[in-house]
Each structure stands twice: as C-alpha cells, then as structure tokens.
C-alpha cells in the first residue's frame, strides 16, 4: 500500500477505471453475442437492428480505447460479412 497521498488516490482511481472498463467490455461482448444469436436464428430484421447496435458499440469501444482501432475495423467487417451472408 502506498504511503503518499497522491499514490493512494491513484490506486483508488485505477480500481474504479478498471471496473468501468471491465463492465464496458462485458457489455460489448453481450451486444456482439446478441447479433450472432440473431444471425444464427435467421431473423433478418432482428439481425439488422442488432447489427446497427453492434457497430455503434464497437465504434464507442474504439473511441474509448477499450479496443484498438484496427480491431474495431476488423470486427465491423466481420459483422457486415455475416449480415450480408444471410441474404444469400
């Protein structure tokens, strides 16, 4: 445990931020799973709405620094490919 006041505060702030990041990553995974479930179910309209929500969540995660920008672009590309494959 640190002795300096600013170091003590830093420990507390880091714990809070870590919890927030973990919750945000978990929420992102949930949104992506909902999209995958809709695609697996074959429901085009539900998959379309889940797709827009998933892309928005991926963009937000990249903007916040939870995931790398290249990973976000790759993930959005994968989502689009899955959605377009439903039409065929």
pLDDT in tens, 25-38: 999 999 999 999 99
Does residue 87 have a pLDDT over 80?
no
Q: Which residues contact 2 (CB under 8 A, 6 or more apart)?
A: 8, 10, 11
What is the assigned CATH class of domain 5-87?
mainly alpha
Domain ranges of the chain: 5-87
Q: What pLDDT does residue 64 have?
A: 95
Query: In the chain, what percentage of residues exceed pLDDT 90?
Result: 93
**Which of 57, 46, 72 lies closest to 23 in space, CA to CA?**
57
What average pLDDT does the structure give for the chain? 95
Does residue 46 have a pLDDT over 90?
yes
For 65: left if phi > 0, alpha if psi spans -120 to 50, otherwise beta; the answer is left
**pTM (whole model) above 0.85:** yes
């Amino acid at each position: 445990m640190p002795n300096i006041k600013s170091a003590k505060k830093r420990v507390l702030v880091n714990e809070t931020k870590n919890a927030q990041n973990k919750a945000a990553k978990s929420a992102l995974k949930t949104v992506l799973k909902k999209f995958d479930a809709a695609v697996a179910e074959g429901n085009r309209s539900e998959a379309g709405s889940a797709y827009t929500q998933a892309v928005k969540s991926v963009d937000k995660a990249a903007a916040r620094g939870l995931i790398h920008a290249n990973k976000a672009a790759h993930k959005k590309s994968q989502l689009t490919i899955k959605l377009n494959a439903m039409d065929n």
